[in-house]
Chains A and B, each alone.
Chain A
């Protein structure tokens, strides 16, 4: 994930898209990819660019699960809550994460290191329970493994590539 320092201005990021509503979701995805979230300012810029009211853009951004309106942590934990993971106890693992990090789902730790969210299904049900951290998949989890992983990331402050 790119960091704030390297980020280009919003105008530059979205300039390659034609000015039509059809591309709104792609634009939002691109902007979130660049900044990690959709700030109020970027939404206003997109609104000017496409000539759409910002309320419409908020409407789309809040409809889809992918979009985030707050800055995420450096390490983003997405716990899978699919059926297979649920049957294999992912709710307990989510509780473990909540207790260890001291945050609720959708929040970021005060130091800005961790953020916790859930995802409907990662599609790797055969290695359930699973989670995705900064785009990397971790499967066949149990409580001990999650505790170990979070401790390691807390110590190093990053996820091994």
Chain B
């Protein structure tokens, strides 16, 4: 029987993986062959989705990109019937024990994968995430078994020795956290997996949960054994329906196999359940997350007491991110040494980044700590599409900062990112080119934080609102100022912007507030000129801030075709047929429709 793998993560499905699957089924029926179709998670090369792998009779697995239903039939024709694997869209072949097929490159030699090190993501896109036997065949649950052969103290020591730091953003040593919880008194303890990936522009946790569900659950069981907890909760965003479905299925299978809710060795028994988040960015903060699990508004509380001492329902609790949990299961299987061998002095192992924005190869990349930003953006990401110039990378989401071109050679680890005013964050890497306005980015993040602030402490609730108003006034045109006083007030506010940002940073209660001004501070630090252009010249160099744009029609180039006038939603364009048209600036809402529709290229924006 032939075997076919199809990447059916959320991004695969959104680009038509389900249609490809139907096409493969139809092809099999038409040729009287039985094909075993295995849906996998995301392999990370999202630009190439849908991805289909065909397994040859010899056992070699060959991967193809951008597969449409029509192409799928063609690939099957060639690969399965004619044994010809050299086709368009070829990504490469997987390594297996045998000699590789001649003339077909290895998939890890592909430019996108060459510099990557797959540690956490090793199984994503490779195994069937819903099959526990497939997971076992790839070494699954060996880590749990090894852990259960040790004492809980030894497990904590192993994790400490590996140097694993929390992958959720703050970078707290996982071993230290586990140690605190283990030493806390009490018979009831909890393990929480933070899968509330609220960071806009990040999807590492979704991919791990969808592509290698069992590794996260195994990590939670190891954590439970280490600290003496008997219950684990996965707090997952409701926006990830596929991930939730797969976790629930996996829990049911594990129950059926007697791994859960049944005493294992040493009397250790563990129960797992999913708690669906309801959409609040602040719930990524651990004390807010616990409040949400308890059924309350997700508001943080001051620490100490730390959750490891008094957490969920006042019991000792550890909260770790999805990637941390998955790492823990691999560390327990392969030992702390191989993990600690990767990375820099203070940051060990690998980190998964969601590489998105204005970059040719958007997707999920896993790189060893200590790699440079340049390697990620240009070698793996393939640089900026359309011949545009690189401007900055936004790392760490709304709490992080922008790193400009002059710091592209910075080594990625927790400490060095802080020196340039950014932070590791959970792993969002948004690339921006010359067409991105940095003031607009700062305003965007501040708007996000303003609406996500929980409202408990004043610096964050009021401060971010004021900060947003200042940024908004910077991108407003003079014509929108009600009087001259408002215009003067605008300058007055701008003068205080930096000190306001500093106050929010110093006095907020939780991590969300303390890092809220980071996007503003870091863009101010590296892109002050852009702010000045907005403030003094009322101009947006990147042509993004609508309020500061002016659309004009070149009367010499205009052919008078009337297309723009017809399409203009506010009837702001006047002119007779076959004569030059004009834009009435007061009526123009800067939607850009005229620029899009003009065939003569007569419309310009400045």
Contact = CB atoms under 8 A, between A and B. Distances in A.
B278 A28 contact: yes
B357 interface: yes
Interface in A123-140: 123-128, 130, 132, 135, 137-140
B295 A23 contact: yes
Interface residues of B, number: 57
A21 interface: yes
Given A60-B295, A83-B394, A124 B203 contact: yes
Interface residues of A, number: 44
Contact of A82 (B11, B200, B241, B358): B200
Contacts of A12: none
B436 interface: yes
Nearest to A27: B295
B278 A66 contact: yes
A99 B428 CA distance: 32
Interface of A: 20-26, 28-29, 59-60, 63-67, 81-84, 86-88, 92, 95, 99, 119-128, 130, 132, 135, 137-140, 143
A50 to B, nearest CB: 9
A64 B444 CA distance: 20
A127 B296 contact: no
B14 A63 contact: no
B67 interface: no
17 contacts: A21-B294, A22-B294, A29-B276, A63-B454, A66-B238, A66-B279, A84-B362, A119-B279, A120-B448, A121-B198, A121-B201, A124-B10, A126-B363, A127-B15, A127-B46, A135-B241, A138-B14
A120 B452 contact: yes
Contact of A125 (B201, B240, B275, B293): B201
Given A63-B297, A65-B279, A67-B278, A83 B11 contact: no
B391 to A, nearest CB: 11
Contacts of B293: 22
9 closest A-B pairs by CB? A126-B46, A83-B201, A65-B279, A64-B278, A82-B200, A84-B356, A137-B14, A121-B200, A24-B295
B430 interface: yes
B281 A120 contact: yes
Given A65-B278, A95-B591, A87 B436 contact: yes
A29 B203 contact: no
Interface string B426-451: 00101010001000010011001000
A25 B198 contact: no
B279 A64 contact: yes
Interface string B442-484: 0011001000101000000000000000000000000000000
Contacts of B569: 99
Contact of A121 (B14, B202, B394, B454): B202
B592 interface: yes
Contacts of B199: 121
